[in-house]
Amino acid sequence: MPQKKDLTIDYLQKNYLDLSFENQFDLAIMIFCDFDVLVPVDRTRLLKNIYRALKPGGLFIFDTLNVKAPAAMKIPGKSWEVADGGFWKDGPYLALSETFHYPEAHVILQQHSVCSEPDQHSVYRFWTHYYPREILDSLLNEEGFTVASTCEDLLPDDGSGTHDMVTFYVTRKM
């Protein structure tokens, strides 16, 4: 077990949808807006698993896109990229990207069509939820969490206008 500053920390690498711990942890952290890619049934499953795994009074800290995300991401938007290799493929490719907004569902779709030789074509779709505060508070309360605090100004302002589209939540198991 790694120790630092006299704290014993156990690191686990496990699918959070398959957690089976009970009253074992003081803290659960989820980063990089991973919460936002879950479909509702998996989101509920995750919250139940985290609630069960936390000790009474335990904290769940995570980040999520907020209602500023669609405007910050400049939706709708289209772009293309030609590369000799990079993110999508090791060899040459053409990537055609488009972003869609479904405001009634609070969902953003980023779709990427990637073409490479010989005649290979792949489509990648990233569905991402964003949450109005009152909706997320309600979802969390339904699963036994209370919101202890939130913060929207933790990311650095790089001039892109996206620094305040993420809200960080600190919640507590009731």
For 89-131, write each residue's pLDDT tens digit.
999 999 999 999 999 999 999 999 999 987 789 999 999 999 9
**139 and 56 in a common domain:** yes
Give the SS3 label for residue 6. Answer: coil
**82 and 60 in a common domain:** no
Token code pair at residue 14:
């496990």
Residues of the chain with pLDDT under 50: none
**137 and 52 in a common domain:** yes
pLDDT of res. 4:
63
**56 and 101 in a common domain:** no
**134 and 60 in a common domain:** yes
pLDDT of res. 96:
97
Beta strands 54-65; 166-173: pairing state: antiparallel
**134 and 62 in a common domain:** yes
- What is the secondary structure of 32-99 as a DSSP string? TTGGGGS-HHHHHHHHHHHHHHEEEEEEEEEEEE-TTHHHHTTSSEEEEEEESSSSS-SS-EEEEEEE
Give the SS3 label for residue 139. Answer: helix
DSSP at 118: T
The owner of tokens 């939540």 is: 169
**134 and 54 in a common domain:** yes
User: Within a 10 A sphere around the Cβ of 90, how many other Cβ atoms?
Assistant: 9
**160 and 145 in a common domain:** yes
Q: Which of 95, 111, 127 is the last residue of a domain?
A: 127
Q: What is the CATH number of the domain that holds 36?
A: 3.40.50.150
Please work out, in degrees rounded to the nearest 5, the angle formed at the alpha carbon of residue 117 by the alpha carbons of 113 and 121: 25
Closest alpha carbon to 46 in 66, 25, 60: 60
Residue span of the structural domain in which 159 resides: 3-67+130-173
